[in-house]
Chains A and B, each alone.
Chain A
């Protein structure tokens, strides 16, 4: 009897699903409020070198700012330079395609001969990853996380090449987005588990863990590179929607809890999981409970588990019900050929290129105060709503902002001052005087706008979405 030769995994399904979801995302114009300050930072980086101090605000001008996403910012700016806003959408579309393809690949690695099961298991992760389909370095971070899962799985299955690729991945990741910290922890834990259970490859695991950790320090911030991820993890700014706690009352929250419940229910009904699955799922579950933006990470990590064990759980339920129903025969994977993969790859590329070709040429500025820009005075003294800071940095560079989505430089003092003024909390008028604020650019429903109207302050410009008020 000869052992069955392992078949090569087909890349057709990941490519096809990735391209389909990417194409579905392409018609949406760039609209992320943080995109603009990322672009502006990258522009300054190219013009003057790495941006280490604030250049855009009047409240923390000259203060140190983190430079931990410089490479990700350059990527977005590069796309903008190449194709303007359509270039940005194009890069986002490619990022979505790669992310979705990696999620499906990860599920397919866990069930090589069940492409339909793998695709179904990947659906919660794909839908939740929609959260990071934005024009920010976060998209690359999520992409790298999915990639790291694929490499860890392949590496633990015996591929030294996959293991060696991990430090390289982390080197890039650490310069693109702060989520690299999760990747580093994942790799180190996987290596520890590998070294424990697979003694002959101990040296490989030790080397990969050491190099991966070292790679995370190869950033402009060196040793301080871990400060930002730690700060955000332990002190998430709950006022910002994506840092709020997961809420089952929202669609994304419900899908996340459904995924968590699915994994738990599956685990209850199916025994004997390898520790390598536990060391990925449990820390990711803990992280996902901390903030809305982390929910997707658990779903991505769970996709291969659900692909591998979901059908077994269903069989257990069927057996418990003592139903005499044969388990549906799911289509098995046809042997993959390089030619078939190449054909699907070409089709995927054509689909992505075609969808980008008809993508919007301009960003969606519906939620931004476009008509207010001309009413803002140049120089310091303008108070703006948080979500509009990035927009103003890009579209009103002569008017430095009070605050914007970079958050970290504002944490010490400015964020509290912002909350006091925007909420018209006691002492807000004294603060406006002390900071010499000349203009307010806020939403008409913000308490400060309501109070300014009560006080009869002059309105320079107003619409349904914004109001520019002159401070007397």
Chain B
């Protein structure tokens, strides 16, 4: 009776463990707030938000981050279950990623231990992108798409790759959820090129890729494939997640292990054309900005699972887990994961935000210059005070961001930047040189804490 479930036992077990791990984490991402505010506006108005409503520096300006559906889904999860609802949505995305990465692994190895080790490492590395933002959908959909394409490729040896039918609608939804859909198109293109070169169902793979590209345009608020690629080519380095990976951080070190592991495996065991077509560009992508690290690791999992010797060859032999036990374990872990959802945090972790400044902010008015990372928080928690800048970066390029940096870093003509924007209040980290300069200039401290200071221009 359990036999049909056996192939799913391991991915389900890994997914359940990942869910349990992810659901217990409180929301911390500064961008979550403006995504929620955007989603709330769209749900309330039944329209797509395509103009700025939240800032004092670009009010009414048209913009798109190409994630309207992702924002709506995030807000609906919040509306349904508050911050716990968001935690559950996040955990579902992480679990989906874990499920499909594990499936990718067991496609390539019969060693459950190796599959679990590689999947766990990749999922742990992906933790750097577990913020409650639409990129969670890319985290889930990338391995799903990879698995779908591999299934189609395997089937193409025997019969028509019917699984490819799912690709265009999948990309269409993905394009509306998050700009990372370009990764789906990249995978489709890599498989299409391989299909052409190997003459294995080229029409089906090329057709699916072309249709997927066409379907990706069915997005009313799309970032556009050109903009998505341009963003990858010229990542804004002022944002931490857009900086190149540092292998001396924990996530960077894990990535480095994947990178040199793939290199060592390739040198010793070689690979296929598809391995090269997928892994080489993803390595370049990962080295371009740390937010892309997980995708290289996800794609490396099936390759490493195939290339590495199974640990059972290195360890004393043991009898494999009986099918019934494996299925029972998967069911138990899934039930446990479902139960863990009850412990999802009911509030975000706002220790890094200027919570204590909110009363003073709400009681005052004027143009506010705020810390970049606090913009989203202020949009959500102090909606009456338009922000100077927030995580919607594109909207603020280049003038507003430049003025912000000139002021905050006390570059020449910083006073002119404040005057030009008619800034009357400043809410920043007290460690910035601007904080001390304004104090010296007689600005009044309205509120302060260890991590923030709210200053007001003297009247």
Contacts and interface: CB of A to CB of B under 8 A. Distances in A.
Interface of A: 234-236, 238, 245-249, 253, 257, 260-261, 263-265, 267-273, 275, 277-278, 281-282, 285-286, 289-290, 320-322, 423-428, 444-445, 447, 450-451, 454-455
B283 A261 contact: yes
Contacts of A235: 248
B197 A271 contact: no
A282 B263 CA distance: 7
Contacts of A427: 436
Given A282-B263, A451-B433, A249 B247 contact: no
Contacts of A265: 276, 280
B111 interface: no
B270 A289 contact: no
A238 B246 CA distance: 10
B217 interface: no
A290 B256 CA distance: 9
B388 to A, nearest CB: 20
A250 B288 CA distance: 10
Given A249-B237, A261-B283, A268 B275 contact: yes
Contact of A450 (B234, B244, B275, B410): B410
Given A234-B248, A281-B267, A290-B248, 9 more contacts: A261-B283, A261-B284, A267-B263, A267-B266, A271-B270, A282-B260, A423-B409, A426-B430, A454-B415
A451 B280 CA distance: 48
A269 B276 contact: yes
Interface string B109-142: 0000000000000000000000000000000000
B178 to A, nearest CB: 22
B260 A285 contact: yes
B410 A268 contact: no
A286 B256 contact: yes
A278 B435 contact: no
B436 A426 contact: yes
A286 to B, nearest CB: 5
B451 interface: no
B411 interface: yes
Interface in B392-447: 409-412, 414-415, 430-433, 435-437, 440-441
B412 A426 contact: no
B449 interface: no
Given A286-B260, A447-B409, A260 B267 contact: no
A282 B267 CA distance: 9
B411 A278 contact: no
A267 B244 contact: no
20 contacts: A246-B244, A257-B284, A261-B281, A264-B283, A267-B267, A269-B276, A272-B270, A273-B268, A275-B268, A285-B260, A286-B256, A320-B273, A322-B199, A425-B431, A425-B436, A426-B435, A428-B436, A447-B410, A451-B410, A451-B433
Interface in B188-206: 197-199
A264 B280 contact: yes
Given A282-B260, A447-B410, A450-B411, A424 B437 contact: yes
Contact of B431 (A247, A275, A426): A426
Contacts of A269: 270-271, 273, 276
Contacts of B250: none
Contacts of B411: 445, 447, 450
Given A248-B284, A426-B436, A270 B263 contact: no
Given A249-B234, A257-B284, A289 B197 contact: no
B379 to A, nearest CB: 28
Contact of B288 (A248, A263, A264, A444): A248
A110 to B, nearest CB: 14
Contacts of A245: 243-247
B285 to A, nearest CB: 9
A238 B283 CA distance: 22
B171 interface: no
Contacts of B237: 247, 249
A445 B435 contact: no
B220 to A, nearest CB: 32
A252 B59 CA distance: 40
Contact of B414 (A267, A321, A450, A455): A450
A445 B412 contact: yes
Interface in B299-334: none
A428 B437 CA distance: 11
Contact of B263 (A285, A428, A455): A285
B207 interface: no
